[in-house]
With several copies, the nearest count.
Chain A
Amino acid sequence: MNQARSLPDAPVLLEIYRRATLIKQNDDRFRAVIQSGKLVMPYYSPRGQEIIPAATSVHLSDDDYICTIYRGVHDMLAKGVTPRALWAELAGRVTGSCKGKGGPMHITDPARGVMVTTGIVGSSMPIANGLALAAQLRGEKRVTIAYFGDGASNIGAFHEALNLASLWKLPVVFICQNNRFAEHTRYESGTSIGRIADRAAAYSMPGEHVDGNDPDAMWSAAGQAIARARAGDGPTLIEAMTFRFHGHIFGDADGYMSKEEKASAIARDPVVLLRRRLIERGMATDAALAELERGIELEIDAALQFALDSPYPDLAELRRDVYATEIQP
């Protein structure tokens, strides 16, 4: 990219911090609640990856679409899904975003542009193309983001989707959140190239390798790719480097990584670093940020309470939403 990179100004960086903090605090609470046994589910914590969707989503509106994956709570919250809808869904309540029928791996919230959350590695990308195609066909300026992991870059769907997006110049941005592991498998054991961004060349597509934990860099890379898509100049592949703090699935013993590797990543907690940066740059005071954090905490308290107070779906829901009208064989 030739365009000079600017830095996010104070309101933008503060907004990135707000979203990242919402993700962080929400995740801390989820894990505590799961650990307490109050809710039971497989949970794929995005803790450590907050900055990527936070810095991306500030370029987006509700009209823009995202497709994300099982490890996607950060992407959803950054895009505007409310903690209430999320908590109720994770608690399997009828007030959840999907009436409790989808669960953590399958959140959908079209009002916020959260169109698909998939549990099948690689599947966010081909579907994102379709959303982008719809916008293109209708001459709308919407942009679609497909989030996925580093491991997903080795599955066939990645290849087919990027090839098609390039051929059709679709307004889509492929954002690979490279946390260096696919379940227990290290990046280099599954991926035959040093940088996933370099795979973009196979599709004549711009590829950007960026520190996904650095809000300036992430904001800039996402902004340029989104602007390009909006301008009708086609797709971009962004590889955003990051790290997951809680292994693949919550409860994971992390035996496949070194303790130092993990400790050093946690020591560079991107949300903590951003907080420091805001203060260093004189963009916020500690007190103002503490106030914001307290507000988020209250929102999460309320969401949890709302979820626990909500009823479970009626068993008749097994017959609903299978087809437009009820069909039982």
Chain B
Amino acid sequence: MTTGTAATSTLLSAVNQALDDALAANPDVVVFGEDVADSEEGGVLGATKGLSSRHGSHRVRSTPISEQAIIGAAIGASLVGIRPVAEIMLMNFTTVAMDMIVNHAAKLRFMSGGKTHVPITIRMMTGAGLGTGGQHADFLEAWFVHTAGLKVVIPSNPSDAYGLLLSCIDDEDPCLFIENMPLYWTPGPAPVRGQRIPIGKARIARPGKDVTLISYSRQVFDALAVADKLSKEGIEAEVIDLRTISPLDDATLLESVARTRRAVVIHEATRQCGVGAEIASRIHENLHRELRAPVQRLGSAFCPVPFSKPLETAFVPGAQQIEAAVRRTLS
């Protein structure tokens, strides 16, 4: 299970593995957040299970419910070379720590003229599909992509999660690492131990020539499913898994769309001012003449995440909508 990509793993265990390896490799790495230590069962879903037992409860620390204090402590320690991996359990709870993330972590390098910097990683979970309702499943990544000084990473599979998380921990800048909870137990390619995946590089998940489907996290799987279906009609969709959404991998995106001349961007965040707007704008700016149709953007409905199952299912953009959007670019 530890080498080769034929073996399978899950996002949940890949995250655990990356943290374990980072803690083992570098004594400056510390992990903290609510319930992360083994005395608290290593996280509500077990993402940090075993880590405090193996690396010590001084390095893997459970905290009170105090997100400002969590991120503040991470920032302060990082200023003098500690490498904190701080957990904000759910992305919605970044709302109580935005000052620390946006006014401090993102800005201290610049405001200090480079005298200090903030090499922290902030892990968080989110994602609709588990019936958690309006305050536990938001995708807010566009806020952070809009914030200079932050990097934003969002893996879709175990191998990427492992390699990207190690890169975030290595990185000299503050990185947000977003884990899609409904993907936690989905089997996928196992990580290659120790192998980093560079921040800022997208992955072509499926090559194609007729249209480019640009996505990240859970929606990559929907895009792939649609691509497979369309392939039977002879439409070959290229699927790009962005992996990092700040900085965006313009080179890969633009090269692909320059070839296919059609693009659809899909994410779970709502469309208005979402990351899709940025991507679509960049494509239009660079490939206006080449494009055969305007870039299509798909996002969740413009409302809070609903609880009721049929609403929750309809809320997230699905294969049907992706297929329809592709057809719009082809017509």
Interface residues of A (CB under 8 A from B): 40-42, 65, 67, 92-94, 96-106, 108-110, 115-116, 118-123, 125-134, 137, 144, 151-152, 154-157, 160-161, 163-164, 167-168, 182-185, 189-191, 248-249, 253, 255-256, 312-313, 315, 317-324, 327-329
Contact = CB atoms under 8 A, between A and B. Distances in A.
Given A106-B307, A318-B303, A329-B248, A118 B104 contact: yes
A96 B80 CA distance: 21
Contact of B65 (A129, A154, A324): A154
Nearest to A109: B115
B111 A98 contact: yes
B99 interface: yes
12 contacts: A41-B131, A102-B133, A106-B307, A119-B136, A120-B95, A120-B104, A137-B82, A151-B65, A185-B64, A190-B62, A315-B311, A318-B314
B308 interface: yes
A261 B306 CA distance: 37
A102 B112 contact: yes
Nearest to A163: B64
B185 interface: no
Contact of B131 (A103, A119, A157, A329): A103
Given A126-B68, A137-B77, A313-B311, A97 B99 contact: no
Contacts of B248: 329
B111 A102 contact: yes
Contacts of B110: 101, 321-322
A131 B41 contact: no
B112 A98 contact: yes
Given A98-B111, A322-B302, A323-B109, A315 B80 contact: no
Given A120-B103, A126-B73, A313-B311, A167 B64 contact: yes
A55 B115 CA distance: 27
A321 B114 contact: yes
Contacts of B172: 323-324
Interface size of B as a range: 35 or more
Contacts of A318: 301, 303, 306, 311, 314-315
A255 B153 CA distance: 32
Interface in B83-139: 84, 92-93, 95-96, 99-100, 103-104, 108-117, 130-136
B294 interface: no
Contacts of B109: 321-324
Given A123-B72, A151-B64, A103 B133 contact: yes
Contact of A191 (B64, B112, B133, B200): B64
B117 A324 contact: yes
B76 interface: yes
Nearest to A121: B65
A143 B272 CA distance: 40
A179 B94 CA distance: 26
A115 B303 contact: no
Contacts of A313: 308, 310-311
**Could you say which of A41, A93, A155 has the most chain B C-beta atoms within 10 Å of its C-beta?**
A155
A132 B246 CA distance: 31
Contacts of B84: 130
Most buried by A among B75, B103, B151: B75
A322 B68 CA distance: 23
B80 A101 contact: no
Interface stretch (B15-23, B32-40, B156-164, B189-197): B32-40
B59 interface: yes
Given A101-B113, A125-B72, 19 more contacts: A40-B309, A42-B130, A93-B308, A109-B115, A118-B135, A119-B133, A120-B93, A126-B76, A130-B76, A133-B73, A154-B64, A167-B64, A182-B65, A185-B64, A255-B41, A256-B41, A315-B314, A321-B114, A324-B173
B72 A127 contact: yes
A168 B61 CA distance: 10
B65 A122 contact: yes
Nearest to B171: A324
